[in-house]
């Protein structure tokens, strides 16, 4: 049975959610850009030892009951099966899951944009045909100009709809993932770590406040430490607690 998005406050439980900025931005698209698919370093999802040490320190500081990490596009790629974060939480005895929109919901929302994709592809092919036939860009061709403008309009509209899903929709699903995991954990007062892209802090914080969840935000400050471009991570904590 398909999972349904539903956000309801926890019953008989109090949750504090510590949002931790991911080491690198976590990107998401319906269709991963070609250049990203060919970027081996991006696909590997490497995590530095300094970041693992930071998370280890946060575990010692907060003693979380569970942890989640925002799942990026490339997690279906088996290039890097040894997830160091998953290994760390398992070693510490902390239940850990990846958070994301459900596959069924993503498929449904993606299908709704199929017409945009098909029209964009048709326009791009027609524009290339005109350029090839004219041996370059026909700057005074009104039809060509109209095709380019229409393509830009469709692309902007597509990007706007994808952004709505990238943020508001996915944030709601990720919050439901958090609530569902909290329901599985015994105890009345719980603490959870949520590692995610910094761009989700504002949206998740608002959802948490609406659901009676206390929040704390931990951002990372990057500095260059050596000539070998070794990164040093320092905690920069901003606390926003709703009562």
Are 130 and 188 members of one domain? no
For residue range 122-153, what is the model confidence (pLDDT) as tens digits? Answer: 999 999 999 998 888 887 888 899 999 999 99
Domain identity same for 98 and 60: yes
Residue 4 lies in a domain: no
User: Per the domain annotation, does 163 fall within a domain?
Assistant: no
The reported pLDDT for the residue numbered 206 is 97
At residue 44, the pLDDT reads 58
Whole-angstrom distance, CA of residue 33 vs CA of residue 120: 15
Which structural domain range is residue 112 located in?
A: 108-156
Please give the residue that has the higher pLDDT: either 162 or 75.
162
pLDDT, the chain, mean: 84
Q: Is 42 domain-assigned?
A: yes
Within a domain: residue 144? yes
Are both 68 and 175 inside the same structural domain? yes
- What is the 3-class SS of 87-101, one letter each residue? HHHHHCCCEEEEECC
Amino acid 195: pLDDT: 96
Q: Is residue 3 assigned to a domain?
A: no
Do 30 and 67 fall into the same domain?
yes
Q: Tell me if 58 sits within 8 A of 18, measured CB to CB.
A: yes
In this structure, are 152 and 228 located in the same domain? no
Please state the domain count of the chain: 2
- Do residues 95 and 187 share a domain? yes
Most confident of 130-139, 159-168, 217-226: 159-168
Rounded Cα–Cα distance for residues 110 and 77 (Å)? 20
155-157-159 Cα angle (round to 5) = 65
Q: What is the mean pLDDT of residues 230-239?
A: 46
- Domain shared by 23 and 99, yes or no: yes
Judged against a pLDDT cut of 70, whether residue 230 lies above it is answered with no
Residues 40 and 85 in one domain: yes
What local confidence, expressed as pLDDT, does residue 124 receive? 92
Measure the CA–CA gap between 201 and 90, rounded to whole angstroms. 25
In a domain, 7, yes or no: no
Residue after which a domain boundary falls, among 156, 191, 221: 156
Average of per-residue pLDDT across 88-96:
94
DSSP state of 103: H
193 plus 91 within the same structural domain: yes
- Asked if residues 99 and 70 have their Cβ atoms less than 8 Å apart, the reply is yes
Residues 185 and 99 in one domain: yes
Residue indicated by tokens 């974060």:
85
Residues 135, 28, single domain; the answer is no
Question: Same structural domain for residues 215 and 144?
Answer: no
Whether 127 maps to a domain, the answer reads yes
């Amino acid at each position: 049975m398909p999972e349904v998005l539903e956000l309801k406050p926890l019953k008989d439980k109090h949750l504090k959610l510590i949002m931790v900025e991911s080491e690198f931005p976590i990107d998401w698209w319906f269709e991963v850009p070609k250049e990203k698919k060919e970027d081996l370093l991006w696909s590997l999802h490497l995590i530095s030892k300094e970041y693992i040490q930071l998370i280890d320190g946060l575990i010692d500081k907060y003693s979380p009951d569970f942890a989640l990490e925002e799942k990026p596009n490339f997690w279906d790629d088996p290039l890097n099966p040894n997830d160091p974060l998953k290994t760390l939480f398992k070693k510490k005895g902390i239940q850990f899951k990846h958070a994301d929109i459900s596959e069924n919901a993503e498929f449904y929302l993606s299908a709704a944009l199929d017409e945009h994709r098909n029209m964009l592809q048709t326009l791009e092919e027609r524009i290339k045909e005109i350029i090839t036939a004219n041996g370059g860009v026909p700057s005074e061709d009104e039809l060509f100009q109209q095709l380019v403008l229409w393509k830009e309009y469709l692309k902007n509209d597509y990007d706007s709809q994808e952004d709505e899903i990238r943020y508001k929709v996915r944030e709601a699903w990720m919050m439901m993932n958090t609530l569902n995991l909290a329901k599985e954990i015994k105890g009345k007062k719980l603490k959870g770590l949520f590692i995610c892209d910094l761009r989700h802090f504002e949206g998740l914080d608002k959802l948490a406040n609406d659901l009676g969840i206390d929040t704390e935000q931990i951002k990372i400050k990057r500095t260059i430490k050596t000539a070998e471009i070794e990164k040093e991570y320092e905690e920069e904590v901003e606390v926003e607690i709703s009562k």
